[in-house]
């Protein structure tokens, strides 16, 4: 969105953000909550797509958004699932960030740097 010094413009943009937040927290969107207990240490988030040879996690979710709670930071990241899947398809195609994880390394997913998810 284009930067503006106009208060009138800023009010409109702010209202759009408030409207989205109201929809988000009123249940208008399907939300899947993830809690990552190691992200604050590693700087990465694990996004599972297969477990014990079967599709799981991001591959089967019907959520509109993933909300990742980052332990110890008391922070959360809200990610649009369709946009996230688009990034993950790119990573998969280029064999990026793919790792085993979960209980006894029986899951496969993407160990993605938080900064990458945020586009920083």
Burial class for 102, CB neighbours closer than 10 Å (0-12, 13-18, 19+): middle
Q: What is the pLDDT of residues 43-86, one digit of tens each?
A: 999 999 999 999 999 999 999 999 999 887 678 899 999 999 99
- Measure CA 114 to chain center: 9
Return the residue matching tokens 């991001």.
58
Number of CB atoms found within 10 A of residue 88's CB:
20
Q: pLDDT at residue 30 above 80? A: yes
């Amino acid at each position: 969105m284009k930067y503006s010094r106009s208060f009138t413009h800023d009010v409109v943009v702010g209202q759009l953000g408030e409207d989205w937040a109201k929809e988000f927290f009123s249940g208008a969107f399907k939300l899947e909550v993830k809690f990552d207990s190691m992200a604050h240490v590693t700087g990465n988030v694990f996004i599972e797509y297969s477990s014990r040879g079967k599709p799981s996690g991001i591959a089967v979710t019907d959520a509109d958004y993933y909300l990742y709670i980052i332990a110890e930071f008391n922070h959360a990241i809200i990610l649009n699932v369709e946009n996230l899947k688009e990034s993950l398809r790119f990573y998969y195609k280029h064999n990026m960030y793919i790792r085993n994880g979960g209980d006894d390394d029986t899951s496969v997913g993407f160990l993605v740097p938080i900064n990458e998810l945020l586009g920083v």
